[in-house]
Structure formats: structure tokens, C-alpha cells
Chains A and B, each alone.
Chain A
Amino acid sequence: MNSDRFYYNIIVAGFGGQGVMVIGNLLANAAMIEGKYVTYLPVYGVEMRGGTANCTVVISSQQIGSPVVGKPHAALVMNLPSLIKYEPLILPSGLLFINSSLIEPKETYRKDIEIFSVPVNEIAIDNGSPKLANMVALGAFNQKTKLVQMNSLFVSLEKVLDERYHHLIPSNIKAIEIGAKFVQSLP
């Protein structure tokens, strides 16, 4: 995104444990590295693994007012409850990114937005670990939207992940790349 004035927001949502907060953190950190203004707002009340969790990321070339977004430009949804909650809110001609491993694409109803499906769990399992599904989703989403540079995401892993997980950075980078390649390979 090279335009002078730039404003984009996205809601990332799924079950607690699917890693939606990590996706949001990485996008926010990558945008910050690139000199953008950014806010990251997590919403996880009493939810834990299995409950629902979501976060809102706003990226802008200007100072950001509200970190709360009513109608997002894009939603990345990892499970069905999140689809039901966020599909109606997306701005017309916005982007709905769904995890088609857990959501049947026929569950969607909007005709005025772009719907983009990636079976992130299957791709992650085929490439070594189901735990990497969120990184596959992030790679695919970012390849689709070109929100930040891939390299900014890779650099951000070191900042966002706790040191005890740093040995997993190479496999996470690989999963982001696999997600991106999947999108590139689409017709």
C-alpha cells in the first residue's frame, strides 16, 4: 500500500486458541515497522480456549481516532460463530476471508463483498502441524490484501512471540509463506 493517504481496518476472529490474537499482533507490529499508525484492540472477556476471541487492527497513514470499529473493511474469520457475527458488519465491497476448513463457503450470504476461502487447517496439517493454521491464514490474507510486506511479518515474529517460542519462528515463517503461495497458485 503506497498511496499517501491510507486507512484500513480489519477484524480477526475465531475460537480462543486458534491464534487470532497473534495474527492481529503480527499485522499491527508489521505496520508499525513500516512507519504506519496502528491500533490493536483485543476483545477477550471471560473467554478461554474454545470460547470466542477477536481483535481489531486499524492501520493508517494518519493518527488513529477510534480503535473500535463498527463496520470493518475486512474480516478474517476462523470459525462459524465468528462468520455469523461479523459477515453482516463488513462494509460494502469489503473483504470476507473465511477458514473453509471449519466454515462451509455456502454459509455466507453477502453478495456485495468479496468472499475469499482458504482451507487453512488442512494446509497446516499437510505441512506439519495443525497449530500453524493461523500463520497459513495470515500469509494467505496478506498475500491477498498486500497490507504489509511479508518480510515485516517475519521480522515481527521475534517481537510478538515470547522468547520461549523463538525456536518456532522458522516453522512459522514457512507457514506464512505456504499460505501466500496457496493464494498465488489460485487462478
Chain B
Amino acid sequence: MWPFECGEIVENQEPEKILAKGNEAIAMAAMDSRCLLYFGYPITPQNDIPEYLSKHLPALGGEFIQAESEIASINLLLGASATGARAMTSSSSPGISLMQEGISYMAGSELPALIVNISRSGPGLGGISPSQGDYFQATRGGGHGDYRMIVLAPSSVQEMYDLTCLAFNLADKYRNPAMILGDALIGQMKEPLIRRKCAKMDLPVKDWALTGAQGRKPNRLKSLYLQDGELSEHNWKLHQKYEQMKKEEVRFESFFTEDAKLMVAAFGSMARVSKTSVELAREEGMKVGLLRPITLFPYPEKALYDLSQRVKLFLTVELNTGQMVEDVKLSVERDVQVYFYGRPPGSLPSPEEVLEEIRKYYG
């Protein structure tokens, strides 16, 4: 069975609705996307992913490896990806920090793979409660060098599944690592899930893969460029990929935008809470909308800019003390007021608490 053709999707075996945990949805999506190689090291709150895959991958002819550390995991992933196979790892914040060197090398060597961060709270070992404190780490590279990672932020169990399928495709399309950024809320929550087939994407042949050079010229995958001008050229090539992503891959959801006077911007778990707050605000007659970035890189800059031509009040809601708000400020027109409501880890804001903030700024 192994290695598989890239982009090959397993026929949907279970179209029935099941009550599934967000983390499990990621594991199911990986299997349904023909990713049968997993490397990881346990950490809460993402352990349902390795638990599920350790049970099911071997039976499918795949490999589940519990590595000795996150550093080993990411380098196993790099090696597996170099062979052209679909592969993934998952971890949570401190573990993802340990992986940054490997992620940078993968971006530099143009290796596609999925990295899942079901983030916990930090800094340091922090705690295991939901947090969106890894937004900067995910969207600003995290590791060294001038690179970007495709970052998808699901806000439902169904999206955990759908965006995992998409992340594998985008990673292959761009030869770039892709990340799913969730948190304990989205990872541990259960909702109805349908294991539906993901949309087909035309993917390039992996003719760069290290598959044994019999009958062809040897392939070489590296991130070290010492010849004069070589590295500069390589960086420009990477830059062009990121620009193409910005053109073609931006995804977002908007809600009640038509007549909005105030727009709430939130992603992932906080977008769910904010959605109810926006509905409550509408019931009180306030013209409030919601913009939810689904791709955190590439960021929906243009959607925000366009909205800001007529909406002059924005409220960014995050489960941290202010990270994505910087991207909102960078995106909108200059005469827009961007307010922020954030929560450090420890407790989750209720929809009523976010509504209180909306009232405050709506005027």
C-alpha cells in the first residue's frame, strides 16, 4: 500500500453523522486524505489525535511512531515528506516551540506536511486551558528565516475535518508546511461530523521526491545555499509562493456584514463565542457583523480593507492579550477605530461578556 500517490483520497466509507471530538476529526481527516504516516510525542490537549491514529494507522498499513521528543518528531516528518509521502505531526504549544527549527528547514527545503497545533496556554509550560497565544508563532514563522506557513484556523468539528483535508492539499500544492491552529476548546468539543469527501485539487507531481534515483538524475533537497546569489534567488522564489497564496488561498467567513456599523473580528474558538454575541446584539437592534478569518496566513487583508471602506468600528476578540488585532489594524483603512477585547488563559469569556464589549464600543 505504501507509498501512496499524492492527493489520493479514500472513498468516503461513513457518510453517516457521528458525534465526534475535534481532535478525532483531524485524525479521521488525515486517514481519509491518505496520510498514513504520523510522528509525535504526547502532550495535552491534543492526545486524542495520536490516540486515534495509533489505533487505526497500523491496520491501514501506515506507520505510527511515538518519537522520543518533538525535535525527533519534526525531523522524522521532514524525512518522510522528502520521500513524497503524505505525513503529519501534532503537538501543543511547548512542543510546537521545540519543532520550530525543523519547520524552518522544511520551509527552506520546500517540503509539504501537516503540523497540528492544538495550542495550550503559555508562556513556558503554562497550562492546558484554551488559549490563542500562539497566533504570532504560527503566522510570523516561529522559526528562523524569511518564511511563511499556511495556517488554517477551524472553528467547528466539521471544519477540523474539512480544513485538515484542505491543509494536506495546500501543502502539496505549494510544497510548503501547513498548520492547523486550534485550541483545547475546538479540540475537545464534540459536534456532529460527516466524513465528507474533500474538494479535489489539481496537485503537482512530486518529481522532486527522494525515491531512489534509478533511471533518473538524483534529486536533492536542501536549505543550504552558499553560492553567490543563490540564496537570494531561493528567497525570492519562496516569496513568490507566499504572494501566490495571498492571491489564491485566502478564506474567511462573514456574517451580517451588509448594514453593519461595527464588525467583530475573531478566529477559531473565539469566533464561535462571538457569533452568539453578534446574534444577541442583533436582537437588541445593534447593527453588528462578524468577520472570521479561516486562513490566518494568508490573512484576509483585502476583505477587511473592503469592509473598512464603510464600517468604521472594529472589535477584535481573542483568547490572548492582543495578537491578531495587529493584523486587523494593518488591514483596515486608516480612519477606522480598532478596539480589542482579550482574555489571558484561565477562563473563557461567555457570549454575554463579549456582548458587553460590543455595547461599549457601539455607542
List residues of chain A with CB under 8 Å of any chain B CB. 25, 28-29, 32, 37-42, 45-46, 65-71, 159-160
Contacts and interface: CB of A to CB of B under 8 A. Distances in A.
Nearest to A29: B19
A40 B191 contact: yes
Contacts of A46: 128
Contacts of A68: 185, 272-273, 348-351
A39 B128 contact: no
B272 A66 contact: yes
Contacts of A42: 188-190
Interface of B: 17-19, 127-129, 185, 188-192, 272-279, 348-353
Given A32-B19, A68-B350, A70-B353, A41 B275 contact: no
A70 B129 CA distance: 17
A160 B19 CA distance: 9
Nearest to B17: A32
Given A28-B19, A29-B19, A159-B19, A67 B189 contact: yes
A70 B352 contact: yes
Q: Is the interface of A mostly helix, strand, loop or mixed?
A: mixed
Given A25-B190, A70-B353, A45 B127 contact: yes
Nearest to B192: A32
Contact of B189 (A29, A32, A39, A45): A39
Contact of A69 (B17, B277, B350): B350
Nearest to A62: B279
27 contacts: A28-B190, A32-B17, A32-B19, A32-B192, A41-B185, A41-B190, A42-B189, A46-B128, A65-B272, A65-B274, A65-B276, A65-B279, A66-B273, A66-B274, A66-B275, A66-B276, A67-B185, A67-B189, A68-B272, A68-B273, A68-B349, A69-B351, A70-B350, A70-B352, A71-B352, A159-B19, A160-B19
A83 B175 CA distance: 54
Given A38-B192, A66-B350, 19 more contacts: A25-B190, A39-B190, A45-B128, A46-B128, A65-B274, A65-B277, A65-B278, A65-B351, A66-B274, A66-B275, A66-B276, A67-B272, A68-B272, A68-B349, A69-B350, A70-B350, A70-B351, A70-B352, A70-B353
A41 B187 CA distance: 10
Max count, chain B CB within 10 A of own CB: residue among A25, A70, A71: A70
A37 B190 CA distance: 11
Nearest to B351: A66
Contact of B350 (A25, A28, A40, A71): A71
Contacts of B352: 70-71
Interface centre among A38, A39, A65 (most CB of B within 10 A): A65
Which 3 residue pairs spanning A and B have beta carbons closest together? A70-B350, A65-B276, A65-B275
Nearest to A24: B190
A40 B276 contact: no
Contacts of A65: 272-279, 351
A42 B18 CA distance: 17
A69 to B, nearest CB: 7
A159 B273 contact: no
Contacts of B350: 66, 68-71
B159 to A, nearest CB: 13
Contacts of A40: 19, 189-191
A65 B165 CA distance: 23
A65 B317 CA distance: 15
A151 B127 CA distance: 40
Contact of A38 (B127, B191, B351): B191
A85 to B, nearest CB: 12
A143 B351 CA distance: 29
A143 B191 CA distance: 24
Contacts of B275: 65-66
A34 to B, nearest CB: 11
Nearest to A41: B189
Contacts of A71: 350, 352
Contacts of A37: 192
Contacts of A69: 350-351
- Which of B129, B191, B272, B353 neighbours the largest number of chain A CB atoms within 10 Å of its CB? B191
